Amino acid sequence: MTLAENPINILIHELSKLPGVGEKTAMRLALHILRQPRDYGQRLARALEETVAKVRFCANCQNITTEKICDICASPKRDRTTICVVEDVADLKAIEKSQCYRGYYHCLHGSLSPVDGIGPEELKIGELVQRLTTQIETREIILATNPNVNGDATALYLSKTLKPFDKKITRLATGIPIGGHLEFIDQNTIARAMEGRRVY
Amino acid sequence: MTLAENPINILIHELSKLPGVGEKTAMRLALHILRQPRDYGQRLARALEETVAKVRFCANCQNITTEKICDICASPKRDRTTICVVEDVADLKAIEKSQCYRGYYHCLHGSLSPVDGIGPEELKIGELVQRLTTQIETREIILATNPNVNGDATALYLSKTLKPFDKKITRLATGIPIGGHLEFIDQNTIARAMEGRRVY
């Protein structure tokens, strides 16, 4: 058996393609898996196979789902008049966890990042535009991209692109997080909080 | 389908058991896998299955292998008189890459760490003692554990445990690494290099 044919080298090679996993980390992970009872590796393999076989992106909002349409889009209890646009499924889950929002979502699967070669075509923006032409009950679009360079650029691009639909377009507030200490907050956040101050 | 039955949640749960992978990283990895062409996840799953099915630890030195005995132990070209004791398979590979050593190895699969509950029984020390009783051609044992608290403790423990065998026991030199600048080297390393200075 040559080195390249050895299953662990193949495993290390495949693991090292994951984001944030280099060859050394891949090796550490592979060795960790080997040291576990054999059924751990089998369970992980089965979960992977099941996931790639069954999980797909919601045809409506691009959330992950095992059906054609995700639970949120299929629910009759959601507010059909708002769409909250997020960068990632993880952001969607974070908003759901806060239980502050009962409308629909749209997951872009990334943010504009010219340096990484990510333009509008790489994101699910076309799908959002398509939705707005058919889901005429939409009244408000909340841009919940992250308050950083890429997220802000994405929000700006979206606000221009979606203007023709004549919907209310809003953006999540930026400011001091709850429990934060002014002393430890970066100056940009403080400047934004000052800019966005409200009458008490 | 409930949340717990969803394959991606099972995948996230299994991935989060890997070292250094929390629930958020597991989610990021799972989403990355989903965004790849489907065959990536399938290849990763197959590599995992193959690895846990075929790869095991060498009966002699505890290196990883697909046979009963690893390539190094099976090779007739290796020097049978020395055993280099390493903490991990990754350390073994690093030494092999340097091409400075042609003897045997013994992989402990860890280092003594009382705070983590890792004592001598958790390491492959019993297997090393067993080897020494049968492999009487051994003349030198090189302790190549890492030069940190746990590695030093492991080397000290081994030197005492292996004393009855009356072999030459050595330890890798510690000092300034090649290409290092004294200015940027920590004081412990400088102290050790000074202590271990050699006649020029």
E strand or H helix that includes residue B7:
helix B7-15
The pTM is what?
A: 0.76
- What is the torsional sign of CA B121, B127, B130, B131? negative
Count of Cβ atoms closer than 10 Å to residue B45 Cβ: 23
Pairing of strands A56-57, A64-65: antiparallel
Backbone φ and ψ of A142, nearest 5°: -95, 120
Of the candidates A10, A27, A35, which has its C-beta nearest B47's C-beta? A10
Residues B23 and B84 in one domain: no
User: What would the two tokens of residue B70 be?
Assistant: 């690893």
Residues B88 and B141 in one domain: yes
Query: Residues B134-147: what's their mean pLDDT?
Result: 93
Residues A80 and A37 in one domain: no
The CA distance from A51 to A72, in Å, is: 19
Q: Tell me whether residue A197 is in a domain.
A: no
Q: Tell me whether residue B88 is in a domain.
A: yes
Q: Tell me whether residue A178 is in a domain.
A: no
Residues B119 and B34 in one domain: no
Q: Tell me whether residue A153 is in a domain.
A: yes
The CA distance from A56 to A54, in Å, is: 7
A17-38 pLDDT per residue, tens: 999 999 999 999 999 999 899 8
Of the candidates A14, A34, A53, which has its C-beta nearest B64's C-beta? A34
Contacts of A82 (CB under 8 A, 6+ apart): A101, A103, A104, A138, A139, A140, A141, A142
The CA distance from A132 to A141, in Å, is: 10
Q: Tell me whether residue A176 is in a domain.
A: no
Q: Which residue has the higher pLDDT, A151 or A199?
A: A151
Asked whether the predicted pLDDT for residue B61 surpasses 90, the reply is: yes
The CATH code of the domain that includes A19 is: 1.10.8.420
Residues B81 and B111 in one domain: yes
Q: How close A160 comes to chain B (CA, Å)?
A: 27
Residues A50 and A84 in one domain: no
The CATH code of the domain that includes B106 is: 3.40.1360.10
Residues B46 and B86 in one domain: no
Residues A42 and A116 in one domain: no
User: What would the two tokens of residue B192 be?
Assistant: 């050790």
Residues A48 and A131 in one domain: no
Q: Tell me whether residue A196 is in a domain.
A: no
Q: How close B21 comes to chain A (CA, Å)?
A: 10
Q: pLDDT exceeding 90 applies to what percent of chain B?
A: 74
- Give me the pLDDT at residue A190, please: 87
Residues A81 and A163 in one domain: yes
Query: Residues A123-130: what's their mean pLDDT?
Result: 96
Q: Tell me whether residue A143 is in a domain.
A: yes
Q: How close B51 comes to chain A (CA, Å)?
A: 5
Residues A95 and A28 in one domain: no
Q: How many domains does chain B have?
A: 2
User: What would the two tokens of residue A31 be?
Assistant: 């060795």
- Give me the pLDDT at residue B64, please: 93
Judging contacts by C-beta atoms under 8 Å, the chain A residues touching residue B28 are 19-20, 90
Residues B84 and B160 in one domain: yes
Of the candidates B15, B27, B51, which has its C-beta nearest A30's C-beta? B51
Model confidence at A4, in pLDDT bands (50, 70, 90)? low
- The terminus-to-terminus CA distance of chain A in angstroms comes to 74
Q: Tell me whether residue B81 is in a domain.
A: yes
**Domain containing residue B10:** 3-54
Model confidence at A2, in pLDDT bands (50, 70, 90)? low
Asked whether the predicted pLDDT for residue A154 surpasses 60, the reply is: yes
- Give me the pLDDT at residue A57, please: 93
> Nearest residue of B to residue A27 by CA position?
B90
Contact between B168 and B141 under an 8 Å Cβ cutoff? The reply is yes
- Give me the pLDDT at residue B3, please: 55
User: What would the two tokens of residue B111 be?
Assistant: 């280092």
